[in-house]
């Protein structure tokens, strides 16, 4: 078991954002994490990578207790996340952004650059390597989050809505990229609102609503679950 989450809870003043959530991630799989807006998905990523300290519960990564881990330590242990609200290093170029990620495991600038170039080729961003990250379109920024995280050579990659705001062609590319990342031997947990995409890439799906896990299963089972349709699709889809 690569990741084991047990009774994970985060309470803010007056609000339990994550409430006794359990799930596991097997090596090599893609786990989808879905739920309506404000369900607590991003908070779970914050908890796994040390941006928040859990109020209760445990996280084991490769058997190692992660409940008190700091964000940089999580990354160096092989657990890297991206940000839903993208955080490009705006005064660096795309290549330099990815090099910063590469330096997590590589000390030498030349070797870091080699890895960064290889990653940019892999994610299809080589053409814009010399552009300032601050000048990229949203789609490119979302992808840069992924490239940069990949450069840290993670074992488990947490992607937070890397498809939000993309057009259908970009979404198709993003789906292909995620499948390629898995082929690279990297395990993924993917938060996504784009239903068709998340259903097509995930091996299993965990559904969160009001901080609680309400369902877990294969995409088909989740799609046909009455509780999910009511709580999630009912509430969220009705709005669109």
Partner 1 sequence: MTKWNDILKNRHLPAVLLALIALVLPLVLRNEYYLHLAILILLWTALGASWNLLGGYTGQVSFGHSVFFGMGAYVSLLLHTKLGVSLWMGLLYAGIAASLIAIPIGWICFRLRGPYFSLSILAFSEVLRLIVLHWKEVTEGAVGILLINSIVDSKVSFYYLMLIVTAIILLVVNFVVKRKLGFYFIAIRDDEEAAEALGIYTTRYKIYSLMISAFFTGVMGSLFANYTSYIDPYIVFSVGDVAIAMVLVVVLGGIGTFWGPLVGAICVVMVNEGSRLMFANASVLIYGALVVIVILFLPKGVVGSLKQYTGKWFHA
CA geometry: angle 72, 120, 115, nearest 5 deg: 60
Half-sphere exposure of 184 (CA within 13 A, CB side): 20
Choose among Mg ion, ligand ATP, partner 1, none what residue 17 binds, the Cβ cut-off being 5 to 8 Å by kind. ligand ATP
Q: Which stretch binds Mg ion (CB under 5 A): 68-76, 81-89, 140-148, 217-225?
A: 81-89
Where do contacts with partner 1 occur on this chain (CB under 8 A)? 49, 51, 70-72, 75-76, 80-83, 87-92, 96, 99-101, 103-104, 107-109, 112, 148-149, 152
What is the closest distance, in whole angstroms, from the C-beta atom of residue 127 to ligand ATP in the complex? 30
Decide whether 192 or 225 has the Cβ nearer to Mg ion: 192
Choose among Mg ion, ligand ATP, partner 1, none what residue 19 binds, the Cβ cut-off being 5 to 8 Å by kind. none
DSSP 157-199: EEEESTTTT--HHHHHHHHHHHHHHHHTT-EEEEE-S-HHHHH
Choose among ligand ATP, partner 1, Mg ion, none what residue 162 binds, the Cβ cut-off being 5 to 8 Å by kind. none
Q: Which stretch binds ligand ATP (CB under 6 A): 35-43, 93-101, 135-143, 230-238?
A: 35-43
**Partner residues linked to 157 by β-bridges:** 80, 188
Choose among ligand ATP, Mg ion, partner 1, none what residue 99 binds, the Cβ cut-off being 5 to 8 Å by kind. partner 1
What is the closest distance, in whole angstroms, from the C-beta atom of residue 2 to partner 1 in the complex? 19
H-run or E-run covering 205:
strand 204-209
Among 42, 80, 97, 147, binds Mg ion (CB under 5 A): 42
Q: How many H-runs (helices) and E-runs (strands) does the chain carry?
A: 10, 10
Asked if 23 contacts 202 with a C-beta cutoff of 8 angstroms, the reply is: no
What would the x/- binding string for ligand ATP be over residues 1 to 30, using CB under 6 A? -----------x--x-x-------------
Rounded Cα gap, residues 42 and 141, in angstroms = 18
Phi, psi of 126 (to 5 degrees): -60, -35
């Amino acid at each position: 078991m690569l990741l084991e989450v047990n009774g994970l809870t985060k309470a803010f003043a007056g609000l339990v954002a994550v409430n006794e959530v359990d799930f596991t991630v097997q090596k090599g799989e893609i786990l989808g994490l879905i739920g309506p807006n404000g369900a607590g998905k991003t908070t779970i990523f914050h908890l796994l990578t040390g941006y928040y300290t859990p109020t209760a519960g445990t996280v084991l990564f490769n058997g190692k207790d992660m409940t008190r881990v700091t964000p940089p330590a999580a990354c160096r242990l092989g657990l890297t996340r991206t940000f839903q609200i993208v955080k490009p290093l705006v005064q660096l170029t795309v290549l330099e952004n990815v090099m910063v990620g590469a330096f997590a495991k590589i000390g030498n600038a030349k070797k870091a650059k080699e890895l960064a170039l290889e990653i940019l080729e892999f994610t299809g961003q080589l053409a814009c390597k010399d552009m300032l990250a601050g000048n990229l379109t949203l789609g490119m920024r979302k992808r840069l989050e992924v490239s940069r995280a990949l450069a840290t050579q993670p074992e488990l990659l947490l992607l937070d809505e890397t498809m939000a705001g993309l057009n259908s062609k970009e979404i198709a590319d993003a789906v292909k990229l995620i499948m390629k990342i898995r082929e690279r031997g990297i395990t993924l947990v993917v938060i996504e609102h784009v239903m068709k995409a998340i259903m097509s890439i995930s091996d299993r799906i965990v559904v969160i609503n009001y901080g609680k896990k309400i369902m877990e299963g294969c995409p088909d089972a989740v799609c046909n679950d009455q509780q999910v349709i009511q709580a999630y699709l009912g509430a969220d889809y009705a709005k669109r």
